[in-house]
Amino acid sequence: MTTRLKALRDWVAEVAELTSPDRIHWCDGTEQEYRKLIDEMLDSGTLLELNQQSYPGCYLHRSDPQDVARVEHLTFVCTRDQEDAGPNNNWKAPADAKELMKSCFAGCMRGRTMYVIPYCMGPIDSPYARCGVEITDSAYVVANMYLMTRIGKPALKRIEKDKTFVKGLHSTGDLNPERRYIVHLPEELTIMSYGSGYGGNALLGKKCHALRIASYQARTEGWLAEHMLIVGVQSPAGDIRYLACAFPSACGKTNLAMLIAPESQKGWKVWTLGDDIAWMHLDKDGQLRAINPEAGYFGVVPGTNPHTNKNAYDTIQHDTIFTNVAVTADNDPWWEEKGSGKPTVDWVGKPYDGKNGPAAHPNSRFTVAARQNPAYSNLAEAPEGVPISAVVFGGRRRELAPLVYQAKDWAHGVLVGASVASETTAAATGKVGVVRRDPMAMKPFCGYNYGDYWAHWLSFAKRSNKLPKIFHVNWFRRDANGKFLWPGYGENLRVLRWIIDRCDNRVDAIEKPIGFLPKPSDIDLKGLDVSSATLEQLLAVDPEQWRAEMKSIGEYFAEFGGRLPGELTAEHQKVVRALG
Ligand code: GTP
Ligand code: SPV
Ligand code: MN
């Protein structure tokens, strides 16, 4: 296989010249190719076969123990002008970044195969889809891209038609954490990733392209590339409302995207469109529509069980790649809170004695094709996407943020999104459980200056009067003993129902300085072990705490100096004044 697109041929030749691979393989994206790759990885030990009776088509990959999460401190956005990357990104001058990466990549594929993966983010026939080509020396990356995106011949055909593509160059290198860089050149639609084989560092279609590069493109082209799940919530009457929800990494997107209604919520049904990324455009009528650029899930494994997330649990019973989980004596995959089985070997491959932390890595992941999800929406691959009724922001906050509230209008909603803060998780290296600012859940993923990004969000109000309503949720509020106040998971449907009731003007709300809060009687608690006192606690807005929060948000905003839109400052001031 090769291509008639000269720009692509030239780039592949140039990379081969730099990296000196033994072989070049153009991925055609067929099942036979996938099978062959799996067999080769089983031979080389990159993959281990799991029990094929109980988990047919499932394999385990153990990554390097030092390479288990995204590395935000080694991720760079390299714009010509540092201001364009903003204080929210690490920056290097493009020329310096290129030189550094060139020195890393020089000869790095000697003895290896160089895979060329043409891929399409979004349904192949969607006007909103965008393509890229990832060059990698990792068969594991190819297999993951096969499950999660649309790769091979159909993508290449589209690239040849579009005549443009994002260039992503990746090598696992020697996995030295001191020589690991994830570099983006948004002005050149280029990504260079060296020294990691893990998830968001290496599967370049995902965070690198579909968020960092795409968000940069979306700004100039008038659309949005967001770290959001997309769901359809169907009422007993059969009406479906689509929601796009942005929560930081490991804060519940996959779980909400696959939610199953509890017993007491008869007739409600949730359909999954996407679990991590949404690309949203205004259509000609001013309706915001979303597509999921991905075709599979790279989901957090621990905590997945038939009670928390039965759809995910069922989805990963076959044809799944598990990364960094434990195994049982029967060679089944195992993870914390799986609810059955016992681990005998931990995620690094050592006998599990229960003494050295969890058996599965807290950021262990499953990779699986979306079509295996029993709740996969029949509109998930609609080229025109689905109409979004509500945008929902959320974070992991043990205090302060109530279970749910609604922004007063679009501009206030942008403030609510820009004010998101959340406890850090195992999805990125570094300390876990520290509250940090994570506007729109995009801190690690916004490919340009946050000040410009907020201005871009605000600009939508001038372009449409049919924009979605904006909300904020927090499933993670705790009591004085550290226990979650809200049961979460399937029960979150009760909160989605209030959100939809608000969108459809079915219920009033209580106006507070921070936004509209539900009347407690409008949250359905039927069949739920949550007292009205607990609900009151969940919905409480403590003015003292909120004054402190607004002060800290103001200080954070000030870091963006002249790039901070005046309209956002005005929205902030309004809330500060209302809080007194
Ligand atoms: P990324 O893939 O990193 O972007 O994460 P995500 O946002 O998709 O998070 P995911 O749904 O995988 O959930 C992460 C963790 O949060 C898992 O351990 C879940 O079990 C837990 N979790 C998800 N939803 C809830 C909830 O409603 N309540 C509580 N208490 N925990 C939840
Ligand atoms: C996240 O960290 O938000 C993920 C996993 O979805 S990764 O693909 O590694 O970015
Ligand atoms: Mn994510």
Using the atom order of ligand 2, give the atom closest to the CA of residue 207.
Answer: 10
What are the tokens at 411?
């501009």
228 in contact with ligand 1, CB cutoff 6 A = no
Among 231, 251, 270, 445, residue to substitute to test ligand 1 (most atoms within 8 Å of Cβ): 251
- Nearest Cα residue to 135 out of 242, 48, 16: 16
**Paired residues of 110 in beta bridges:** none
Q: What is the pLDDT of residues 91-127, one digit of tens each?
A: 999 999 999 999 999 999 999 999 999 999 999 999 9
Q: What is the pLDDT of residue 355?
A: 87
Q: Whose CA is nearest to atom 21 of ligand 1?
A: 252
Which token pair is 500?
Answer: 């939809």
Confidence of residue 354 (pLDDT cuts 50, 70, 90): confident
Across residues 40-61, what is the average pLDDT?
98
Q: Is the pLDDT reported for residue 356 higher than 90?
A: no
What's the gap in Å between 43 CA and the centre of ligand 2? Answer: 28
227 pocket-lining for ligand 1 (C-beta < 6 Å): no
The predicted structure's pLDDT at residue 71: 96
How far is the C-alpha of 284 from the C-alpha of 287, rounded, in Å? Answer: 7
Ligand in nearest proximity to the CA of 300: 1
Separation of CA 263 and ligand 2 centre (Å): 32
The pLDDT of residue 170: 98
Query: What SS3 class is residue 409?
Result: coil
- State whether the Cα torsion 440-443-444-448 is positive or negative: positive
How many helices and strands (H and E) does the chain possess? 16, 29
82 three-state secondary structure = helix
pLDDT at 337 over 80: yes
| CB proximity list for 578: less than 8 A, separation 6 or greater | 513
Protein residue whose Cα sits closest to atom 8 of ligand 2 = 200
Structural domains of the chain ordered from first start: 6-48+65-222 (3.40.449.10), 226-295+379-579 (3.90.228.20), 297-372 (2.170.8.10)
Q: What is the DSSP string of 428-495?
A: BSS-SS-EEE-GGG-TTT--S-HHHHHHHHHHHHHH-S-PPEEEEE-S--B-TTS-BSS--GGGGHHH
pLDDT tens per residue, range 287-319: 999 999 999 999 999 999 999 999 999 999 999
For the CA of 428, the nearest atom of ligand 2:
2
| Ligand with an atom nearest the CA of residue 207 | 2
Which of ligand 1's atoms lies nearest the C-alpha of 257?
11
Give the Å distances, CA to CA, from 531 to 190, 262, 339.
Answer: 53, 18, 27
Q: Counting ligands in written order, which one lies closest to the CA of residue 198?
A: 2
Pocket test for ligand 1, best of 68, 70, 247, 255 (most atoms within 8 A of CB): 255
Cβ of 487 closer than 6 Å to ligand 1, yes or no, is: no
Shortest-distance Cα residue to atom 27 of ligand 1: 488
Q: Choose one of 68, 300, 538 to mutate for the ligand 1 pocket test, by most ligand atoms within 8 angstroms of C-beta.
A: 300
Give the ligand 1 atom nearest the CA of 489.
27
Q: What is the DSSP string of 93-151?
A: -HHHHHHHHHHHHTTTTTTSEEEEEEEEES-TT-TT-EEEEEEES-HHHHHHHHHHSEE
Alpha helices (H) along 287-431: 310-315, 410-418
CA of 396 to the centre of ligand 2 (A): 16
pLDDT band at 1 (very low <50, low <70, confident <90, very high): confident
Ligand with the closest atom to the CA of 490: 1
Atom 10 in ligand 2: residue holding the nearest Cα: 200
Q: Which atom of ligand 1 is nearest to the CA of 308?
A: 20
Taking only the tens place, the pLDDT of each residue in 366-424 is: 999 999 999 999 999 999 999 999 999 999 999 999 999 999 999 999 999 999 999 99
Q: How many CB atoms are closer than 10 A to CB 314?
A: 15
253 lines ligand 1 (CB under 6 A): yes
Helix (H, G, I), strand (E, B) or coil at 527: coil
427 Cα: distance to centroid of ligand 2 (angstroms): 6
How far, in Å, is the centroid of ligand 3 from the Cα of 338?
21
Q: Is the CB of 249 under 6 A from ligand 1?
A: yes
**Rounded CA separation 238/363 (Å):** 37
pLDDT tens, residue by residue, 441-486? 999 999 999 999 999 999 999 999 999 999 999 999 999 999 999 9
* Cα 65 from Cα 356, distance rounded (Å): 14
Atom 3 of ligand 2, nearest CA residue: 249
Cα 200 to averaged position of ligand 2 atoms, centre (Å): 5
Relative to beta strand 288-291, strand 48-49 is unpaired
User: Is 297 close to ligand 1, i.e. is its CB under 6 Å away?
Assistant: no
CB atoms within 10 A of CB 161: 10
User: What's the CA-to-centroid distance between 539 and ligand 2, angstroms?
Assistant: 30
468 Cβ below 6 A of ligand 1: no
Residues with Cβ within 6 A of ligand 2?
Answer: 70, 199-200, 206-207, 249, 276, 298, 427
Is residue 497 within 8 Å of 268, Cβ to Cβ? yes
- Which residue out of 231, 254, 335 has the highest number of ligand 1 atoms within 8 Å of its CB and is therefore the one to mutate? 254
| Residue whose structure tokens are 């520290």 | 434
Q: What is the mean pLDDT of the chain?
A: 97
- Known catalytic residues are 251
Tens digits of residue pLDDT in 478-515: 999 999 999 999 999 999 999 999 999 999 999 999 99
Ligand 1 atom 20 nearest Cα: 303
